[in-house]
Amino acid sequence: MTGQRDILITEVALRDGSHAIAHQYTVEQVTNVARALDEANVPYMEVAHGDGLSGSSLQYGLSRTDEMKLIEAAVSVCKHSKVAVLLLPGIGTVNELKEAHRIGAKMARIATHITEADISKQHIEMAKNLGMETVGFLMMSHMAPTEKLVEQAKLMESYGADVVYVVDSAGALLPHEVRERIRALRDHLSIDIGFHGHNNLSLAMANTLAAIEEGAKRIDGSVRCLGAGAGNTQTEVLVAVCDRLGIQTGVDIYKMMDLAEHIVAPILNSPQEITKDSLVLGYAGVYSSFLLHAQRAAKKFGIDSRDILVELGKRKVVGGQEDMIIDVAAEIAGQKAGAAV
């Protein structure tokens, strides 16, 4: 990879996008997308189950294809791009991390809830020992004050993280809130800062630009907006906007457009857009990957999925508590049945 880059983009459609298609990626699909991303000169691409290594389960959603085969497929066609994996401690273990590294993953993104960075120590240290570029990924960053974010980010930095991300998992942050958080990390950390947005309030691009203006150097995007909820910052659009602003990404805009149109669009079950449910995710501050789970529960119990999502937001349910979705749906259905008597 040549040329100056002002920001480094990580393409997350092959991980975050897994949520949107119920974790049904095939080896052929991943191979085609990865090859095109490599040809477009995207520096990093993340490949894994939507909930990270070992996420395939009844609770989080069963994968159609073993994720190690998907990682291996992506690695096999990348001449320039580096393959990254996501790991949530408690779901994935150091054993899966070692296996991902063995088959060619070069970056480990260790993700925790915004207040639980202390559980990332073992995994960040292992990734560093393996020689992987290592990212601390602070999910649901809207759920804690900026002071807590700084505290947790400094923990990840102390464990050896090369980068720490502000992760707007619910797509709930507003631009001024992103600015405040990125600026605070920039003032208190000596490592690179990243931003991962979701588009549930139609603010992914605005939030991403706010993050870049405040000094974030690592930015996530998903081609064709293929990600949980209403998707992430749309990569091909981000590259075009950055070009207009004179921000160097090193990514070929025409090749990203072609990838979005001809390879990724056919994968989508329906176009990524801000539906009533994805809007509620951002409005209520609920984890974006809850969307399909809530829709299924609503259908099962004959209730409105928005009621489920709003209640989950009130209870401050976070990633890893997917089993609560059925409980909440059953409770709401019971209340409605009782009220009808």
Binding residues for Mn(2+): 16, 196, 198
Cα separation, 217 vs 318, in Å, equals 27
Cα 55 to Cα 58, 110, 126: the distances in Å are 9, 14, 19
Binding residues for substrate: 15-16, 169, 196, 287
Catalytic residue among 19, 23, 101, 123: 19
CA dihedral 159, 59, 57, 194 (to 10 degrees): -30
Given 3-state DSSP classes, what are the helix, strand and coil percentages for the chain, each rounded to the nearest 5? Answer: 50, 15, 35
Contact 34, 72 (CB under 8 A): no
Catalytic (active site) residue 19: yes
Residue 85 belongs to what H/E stretch?
A: strand 82-87
Please check whether residue 233 is in contact with residue 224, taking contact to mean a CB–CB distance below 8 angstroms: no
Element (H, E) at 327: helix 323-340
Instruction: Please name the residues in contact with 190: beta carbons below 8 A apart, sequence gap of 6 or more.
Output: 157
CA distance 165 to 141: 9
Q: Which positions are annotated as active-site residues?
A: 19
